[in-house]
A and B are shown apart, each in its own frame.
Chain A
C-alpha cells in the first residue's frame, strides 16, 4: 500500500515536471529548438535536411518575442555531418530571458518541400519560473529594493515571533489574492476592456481574500487563528498585496508565473521581516544614542539591509 502510494506520488511529480518542461515546436519536422552558448540557437530536425537550404542564411529570420520588428542578424549557419542538426550563430549575444521566434522558409529534405516553419526557442519553463520566484524574493525584494509595505514592515518587526507570524499569514493571503487577481484579470477584465479598473478591482480582491481567510480560519483552525488572526487585518494595509496583482497584470503573467511571483513576494517579505526582527531585538540591548532610539535606528538598519540586498542584483542561476 505504502509502495503504491509512493509510486503514485512519483508519477504525479513526473507528470507535472513533464508538463512544465514539455517543449512545443510549431512544425512536425522540427524536433527541438534550444539555446546554446551565448549567441547560438540549435535546431534539431526529425530527418536530414539539404545542405544548400540549411546554409543559405536568407532562409532564416529570428526575433525576440516582444519585438517582432527587430530582426536579429544571423552570422553563420552550420549543418552537422548527419544533416539533422543546424547551428545558427548570431552577430550579438542573445537575451535568453526572452523567448526567440525563428522562422524558416520551405524546409527542403531529400528533395521534398516540407513547408515553412516558425519555431520558438526558450529556456526551460521551470527556469523562467524560478527566475521570477528568486527575482521577487531576493533580487527585487519588495521591501528592500522597491520600498513597499514599509508601514507593516516597521510595525511588526519588533519581535521575532510577530515577524514570522505576519510573514506567514501574508504569504498565504498573497498567494490566494494573486491567483484570484490573475483569473479575474485574464478572464473578466481583459475580455471586457476594463483594464483601467485594475486598481479598484484588486483592492476589493485583497480585502475579500483577507475576509475569506479570516472567516474560514476562525472555524477550521481556531488555534492558528488565535496566533495569526491579528495580522490578517494588517495585510489589507500592506501595499505589496496590491503591487503584486498590478505587476502580474502589467507583465501579462500566466497562472504559474503569477503563483511564483506571489510566493516569491510573500517569502521575500517574510525574509525581510525575520532579518529585521533579529536585528531589532539585539538593538534594544545595544547602546543606541537617545535621538536614534526606536524607529530612526530601524530606518537606518533597513537602509543598510537595502544596500546588502543590492548584492543580489547580478544574481542569475538559470
Chain B
C-alpha cells in the first residue's frame, strides 16, 4: 500500500478501522441478502422447469393472493406515507385505524344479515359495509389526530412517534376490553363471490376479484382527489412546506386533519377487503399488517403515493412467493455456477486490488470491501457452495421474517425506496 501517488497520502491510507469494518459488514449483508434472493429466484424457475416445483395450478392462487394482500398493504401504506410526508413521524396507530374499521364492519354485517339485506341485496349491503368501514376508520384517524398529535406539532421527533405507540396500545386494549378477544367472524359470502372466475388467464375467486376492483377504484378516486381537488392541492402544498402553505392562505390544521381522514378512509377500504378475504377479526388484527404496510410505504419511497401502492404490491408478492422461494433453496447450486461465481469473485478481488492503489479514501473502502468479500466468496465458491443447498421445513411460518428481511435489505441498498422519497422541507433536514 506504499505508493508515491498523492491520492494515498504520505502515511498510507488514513482509514478509520471501525468505519471500514462496518462498511464491509454492511456490504457482506447486502451480498448475502442479494445472493439468497437471486439463488431462490433462480431455484424456483429451475425447479419449475424440471417439473418438481410447485404444482402448476397453485401458481395463479399464489399470485392473486399476493396481489390482493399487496393491494391491502398498499391502501394502508397510503395513510402512513401521507402522514409521514407531512408530519414526519411514523403513525404507529394507523394499523389500529384499519382494525377499527374491520371491527365495525363485523357488527354492521351481522346487522345486515339479521335484516336480510346481506342475502337479498348484497351489493347494497356491501356498499353499506364499505361505507361503515371507511367512515369509522376516517373518524378514528381524525380523533387520534385531534386528541393526541395536534398538541405535539413541533415537539422533538421521537415524541409523536412514542405517542403513536401509546395510541396504538390504547386502541388495541380498549377494543379488547370492550369487545373481547375472541375471533369475530363475518357472515358467509353469497355464492357469486365464492365461485371462481377466469380473468386474463388467471383463475380468481370472486371475492378476490371484487376486492381488486374495489382497490383499483379507491386508488383512482384518491389519485383524482390528490391531484385535481382543492383539498388535494392543499395537502400537497402543506406536504411541501407548511410555513409557505400557511402564508398562501391554506389552513394547515384543517389540511392535516384532511390528510388523516383520507389516510383513514383508505385504511377503511383495506379493512373492507380484509373483511371479504379473511373474514374474521380480533383486536390485534391491525398490528402486523400495520407494520408491514409501513414497510411497504418505505419500500416504495415514503411520502410518495404511487410508491406506497407499488411498495404494497411488491411486499404482497414477496410474501406470497417467499415461502416457495425458501423451500426452493433445496435446489443444490450446480458446480459450474459455483465455480463461475468463484471466478467472478476473483475478478472482484483483482479489481479491488487494482483500484485500491489509485483510490481516494472514499473509494478505498469500496475496494477493501471488494477484496474482503471477494476473497471470502471465492473461498466459499470453491469449497462449500458447489452442490450446497438448504432445506427449510415449515417455510410458510417464515413469511413475516421474509417481509422484514426485505425491509432491511431495501433500507440498506436503497434507503429512499423504489420510487424515491417525497418529504417536506422540515423533514428533509
Q: Do A and B come from one complex?
A: no
Give the interface of A toward B (CB within 8 A). none
